Amino acid sequence: MRVRCLRGWLPMREAIELQTVFGKIRGWRRAGSSPSSPRLLAFHGWLDNADSFVPLEPFLRDYELVAIDQIGHGRSDHLPLSSDYTALTFTRCGIEVADALGWQKFNLLGHSLGSVVASLVAAAIPSRVESLIAIEALGALTNAPELTAEVFREAIDIAYKPRRPLRAFATLDDAIRVRAAVNHLSEPVARLLVERGINEVDDGFVWSSDPRLTHPTAFRLTEAQAMDLIEGIECPTRVILADPPQSYFPDAIRRRRVAALRNGSLRMINGTHHVHMEEPEAVAKLFD
């Protein structure tokens, strides 16, 4: 059996399932990696999944690569209703994954939300993280202090509203077309994400990610707190940003954050938010 990818046939990837205190985390490991290869743990973006890194995989052969579905995403478990999806939860879960793999030292790769998580893991356990590659984000999302009460009330209000039924798509292709349009993705890239991120039900197909991932977070850090955590990242860090920037991560803020790194460098590339999937070879060349 072989796995079809955007760039042709790839060696089979091995499915993995890791038991953590947050539930089962699933993903894949490149088959046949040398035990002496540097270890690379990859975190995908919001509402994406481990297959976000399939296009990059052929260009990362020097690593023992593991890509996971973050908690609540893809094929991994959802959090119980008594728990919330927060930056701390994602960070702790990321560390749990490294522990479950038996990795004492490792490198980190993240995209979007995954870069937020990877940044926080690097800040939390600097002695274990050897390097960080952050694509399209660095550090946590923040709120202005004066918005704290407003955002908190909104989060509590939504948490206690009845859960709406999941939207069902008649066909897989319908879901792919919607995902491509919403995120400005090419059809092959959208297909990669959808095929791992959807469940078949009696009346069609529904997203497998936890709907609560779309709810507002009750508390976020201030920008000053986020900057302090970035300054706490000790490992060599390469930040890769697509141009034009995303609306939630303006260019002035993202450049200021990169400048706060102790040992950081910035590479810019023309492209969309999912540039690592649309132009994987060009992005991989920016890793060095």
Collapse the DSSP code of 27 into the 3-class scheme (helix H, G, I; strand E, B; otherwise coil) and give the result. Answer: strand
Query: What is the spatial distance between Cα 208 and Cα 205, in angstroms, rounded to a whole number?
Result: 9
pLDDT at 114: 98
pLDDT at residue 247, rounded to an integer: 87
**What pLDDT does residue 204 have?**
96
* pLDDT value for 35: 77
Residue of 194, 163, 168, 199 lying closest to 181 (CA atoms):
194
Give 42's contacts (C-beta < 8 A, 6+ positions apart). Answer: 50, 52, 53, 65, 66, 67, 68, 108, 109, 110, 114
The pTM for the full model equals 0.94
Q: Which residues are within 8 A (CB) of 25 and not within 5 positions of it... i.e. 6 or more apart?
A: 17, 18, 68, 69, 70, 71, 76, 77, 93, 96, 97, 100
Q: What is the tens place of the pLDDT at every residue in 127-153?
A: 999 999 999 999 999 999 999 999 999
With a CB cutoff of 8 Å and minimum separation 6, the contacts of 197 are: 47, 48, 49, 73, 74, 207, 208, 209
Q: Provide CB contacts within 8 A for 102, sequence distance 6+.
A: none
Q: Which residues of the chain have pLDDT under 50?
A: 1-10
Which residue from 266, 226, 264 is spatially nearest to 242, judged by alpha carbons? 266
For residues 45 and 52, the answer to whether their CB atoms sit within 8 Å is: yes
The per-residue pLDDT for 33 is 75
Cis bond before residue 165 (omega within 30° of 0): no
Domain containing residue 106 = 3-143+221-284
Q: Is residue 277 part of a domain?
A: yes
Query: What pLDDT is attached to residue 165?
Result: 86
Asked if residue 74 belongs to a domain, the reply is yes
Q: Annotated active-site positions, please?
A: 112
What confidence score (pLDDT) does residue 164 get?
84
Q: Is residue 260 part of a domain?
A: yes
Distance between CA atoms of residues 248 and 52, nearest Å: 21
pLDDT of res. 3: 31
In a domain, residue 77? The reply is yes
The verdict on residue 106 lying in a domain is: yes
Give a yes or no: residue 28 inside a domain.
yes
On whether the CB atoms of residues 12 and 21 are closer than 8 A, the answer is: no
* pLDDT (0 to 100) of residue 163: 86
Q: CA-CA distance, 195 to 87, in Å (whole number)? A: 26
What pLDDT does 10 receive?
A: 47
Number of domains in the chain: 1
> Is 245 part of a structural domain of the chain?
yes
* pLDDT for residue 248: 85
CATH number at residue 131: 3.40.50.1820
211 in a domain, yes or no? no
